[in-house]
Structures are given as structure tokens and as C-alpha cells.
Chain A
Amino acid sequence: MKSFIEYIVSIFKGLWTLLIGMKVTGKYFFTPWKNVTQQYPENREKLVMFERFRGEVIMLHNENNEHSCNGCGICEINCPNGSIEIISKSILTADGKKKRIIDQHIYHLGMCTLCNLCVKACPSGALAMGQNFEHAVWDRSLLTKVLNQEGSTIAENVKEE
């Protein structure tokens, strides 16, 4: 008889614990304005990422289409995955001297782990982390980017290599 009473009591105790759980879920059911879901594709215009967010590596250009990369290759050495390649070329300056400048700063986004080591290592502050995170493309060759813009030149105050 005693075990039978215990059995009945345990049923009600069990139901009570379920009700306590239902109290929590019920509270959120009746206060739907407390929901925290972000309507992601719809809120794209208003979505602001944090300033340090690491989305991709970009090269900073000023309004005159000048960057500050002198092609020293320190970012290439510091990259753990080989996602940066620097192609430089030599030009003749106005006073007839040979000078090596950067031709293409190639960046393979598909290989990049966004570790920030290149940005940290860059002595002239040419690189930065961009905040774009929507990187899906139809062809993976599109993930290889040239970071220095078309026709850009090196800014004047940058130390030479």
C-alpha cells in the first residue's frame, strides 16, 4: 500500500515539474515582443557589423586612389596559409633610378582563415579588415582578388622598401 501511495505521489510530483517548465516557456509564449530573432536578409540595409569584425582583407585607398603598400612582402611571410601573393615590378623614376613597386597584391579569400596576422604585421598600415561577410560566389576563381585598385598609386609619404 505504501509503495502504491508513493507511486501516485511521484506521478503528481512529476506533473508538477513539467508545469514548472511550462511556466518558463509560457512566459515567453505570451510575451513575444521579447523575442530576439534577427530577420537577417530583410535587415541587410540596417545591419551594422562591429568595427573590429574580420570579414575579408582589404587594402585602404584614399580619395586620390592612393594606397600605402610598398610591396615589402611582410604580409606574405606572416600569412599562415599562403593566401597572399605579391607581384612587384620595376619602373624607372623621373630621375632615372630603378625602383621596385607593387604591381598586384593578390589575395585568395578561399584560403584565408581571417587570422588578422597580415594586418598586424603590415609596417605601413596598408591593409585592414573589411566588414563584408557575404562571400558566396558562383565560381571559386572569383574568390581570388587583386587588392590594389586599378590605376592606383603609392601614396607619397610611405617609406620605401
Chain B
Amino acid sequence: MSEIKEVMFNSDRLATDEYLVNMGPQHPSTHGVLRMLVKLEGEKVLNIQPHIGYIHSGIEKMCEAISYPQIIHLTDRMDYLSAHMNNEAVALCVENALQVEVPERVKYIRTIMDELARLASHQLWWCVMGMDLGALTTFFYGLRDREMILDIFEETCGARLTVNYNLPGGVMFDIHPNFQKRVKDFVTYFRTKLPEYDQLLSGNVIFRERTEGIGHLSLADAIAYGVTGPSGRASGFSNDLRKHQPYSAYPLVKFNEIIDHRCDTLARYEVRMKEMYESLSIIEQLIDNIPEGDYAVKMKSVIKLPEGEFYQRVETARGEFGVYIVSDGKKNPYRVKFRSPGFSNLFALNKMAKGHKIADLVAIMSTLDLVIPDIDR
């Protein structure tokens, strides 16, 4: 008996070795083809090394061969949940380079579409967050409401995800006659559904136990790693470009930048939940006041940017998205670089998940809201 006790408590014969586990590239909670080399001691995570590039599609290189209006449809395919914002970033960059002023109507339409896309993205994130933590019900409820936004997109833009709605100088179509009614219906409907989200998941004891105090990312680390968007704002990093560098119709609307100083997984969750209310209020302020006018300015059939370097950044649902265009005066860009939010956010994962259990790693990863094509490009 004493021998067994000796083995159980005093000997180092049962001490666990460190070992490496491949999480992904095919794993349901990595949300795509992301592979992470996780160094474990028992269940404890010691180190995470993300291996990316499984769906690298060479979008930046492809952009060098095609013209500026054609680039926009490729940006749909990077962060497919924030397709509108990505499109807008390229369109704004080209407009700024050519010093084209777009009509007020375009600005309003773009802003409403951005916020709808942000809502749809946050809804999907909420579904998947619940599913990662074992609550399958959230997945169905979130997708049910997201369907209404996708219908709005489909009616006005012609597609659900890869919308390709923005063009340099405006938008592709005018808004559909049903657009305003549908958006208003959605806003009133979704205001009744958001409290349901909170009842279902936010207050749930299992959910709170698994998120409170998990995955701490300090403000200094968030800035050092360049963690932007809701993930950065949950660490107290005020980085909302809609406030700090307003574009389109954002200077005209009143909204709060949601900042949380708790730095943990629950804070990142709550920042996104509160952002949904802010998006709804932005849409409500704009939807009745869309000014009359053209939905696009007439651009030349071949758009040539002046020689030089141009940069434009926008706030997507995941953080700061930047487009950097180097032009040599031809109709194709000389070089295009995209600064994608997912890439920077992913590499802070090691800092957050170190020392936690492997089940917490899944929770932390889903609050980062990773979209893998956005990381790989």
C-alpha cells in the first residue's frame, strides 16, 4: 500500500512529458483550414505555433495583373463575412487617389451596408461561439436571424456573401425599392431577438464558467501584437477607425465605441454583443435619411491611378483592414498589400492561451473570430 502511495504522490514516475499535438488543419473549431502545433503538458497548453497557408490563394499577386474595378471582387473572397467593408476599402483607396468625391447617397448606402455586414458577421460569430462551447442551439437561432440580412443583400446586391457591391466611384446598383422597408423590419425584429441571445448564452452558468478570467490579453500585449477590432477593444485598446478616422457617413452618426478593460474571453464576447446594439442604432439613424441623388459617379472606362503610394484603412467586423496600393501609372497596380485583421489577431493566441487547458483554447480562439481566408489571403 505504501508503495502505491509512493508512486502516486511522491515519485516522478507519473510525471507527464511534454508532447505535441496537431490541432487541425481539419478540426471543426478552427473554422477553416488552420493548423496549430500545440505543445501540451497533460491538458495544459504550453505553447501554440500556428501554421498557416493551407488555403493561400495569392490574391495580392493576382491583383497585379488585373485592373482596379476587378480587384474588388477578389477582396470579397478574403474575409467573406466582411465583404462589404473589404470592397469599400479598395473603392475608397482608388477614389482618394483620383480625388473623386462620391455623392452623399453612396456614403449612406455604404455605411448601412457596412453595418448590416457587421451584424451578419457578429451573428455568425455568436452562433459558432456557442457551438464551439457545446451549445448547438445557438447555431440555429443565430443563422435564422442572419438569413434576413442575407436576403437584404441578395435583393439589393444580387449575392449573399460575395457581394461585389462597391465600385470605384459608387455602388453597383441603386438600392432596391424594398430595401428600406426590409431593413426597418429587420431592425425591429432583431431588437426583440437580441435579449433572447443574452438569455440563451450570456447568462448561462456553464458559459460564464468557461469564459470568465480565461485568455487574458493585456493592453500592452494587444498593442504590441496589433490586435484590433473587438478583440483589441476588449483589452482597453481604443482602436475603432469609425471613430478615429471616420470615412463614408460615419462622421454623421452618433454611436459609442465599446471598450472593456477586463481583457478576458467574456469581455471579448460582451464587446461584440454590445456592438450589435450600436450597429442597429447606426442603421436606424441613417435608414430614413438616405438622400436622393446618383448612386455612382461616372468614372473613366479605364481607371489609371497616378504614380505613387496609397493607403486606406477601414474597420471590418474583425478589426483594421488596410489596402496599400503602389501604382506606376498603369491600369494595373504595381503592388497591392492587404493588412488583414485576422492575421495579427491569430498570433496573439499564444499569449492568451498559454497556461490554460486545451478546452479553453477553443473558447479563446472562437472569441478571436478568425476567418482563415482572411489570414492566408
Contacts and interface: CB of A to CB of B under 8 A. Distances in A.
Contacts of A24: 196, 199-200
A75 to B, nearest CB: 13
Contacts of B199: 20-21, 23-24
A104 interface: no
A54 B172 CA distance: 13
Contacts of A15: 205
Contacts of B159: 53-54, 114
Contacts of A141: none
Interface string B67-88: 0011001100100000000000
A115 B200 contact: no
Interface residues of A, number: 26
**Looking at A13, A15, A18, A115, which has the most chain B CB atoms within 10 Å of its CB?**
A115
Given A21-B200, A36-B147, A115 B157 contact: no
A109 B159 CA distance: 16
A25 B137 contact: yes
B37 interface: no
Interface in A79-120: 80, 113-117, 120
B154 interface: yes
B164 A115 contact: yes
Contacts of A120: 172
Contacts of A78: 69-70
Interface string A16-55: 0110110111000000000010000000000001101110
Given A20-B203, A53-B154, A116 B70 contact: no
A52 B200 contact: no
A115 B137 contact: no
Contacts of A113: 73, 77, 162
Given A52-B176, A116-B158, A116-B164, A80 B205 contact: no
A116 B165 CA distance: 9
Contacts of A151: none
Interface string B342-370: 00000000000000000000000000000
Contacts of B66: 80
A14 B144 CA distance: 27
Contact of A80 (B73, B137, B173): B73
Interface of A: 13-15, 17-18, 20-21, 23-25, 36, 49-50, 52-54, 78, 80, 113-117, 120-121, 129
Given A116-B164, A120-B172, 4 more contacts: A20-B203, A52-B173, A54-B158, A117-B164
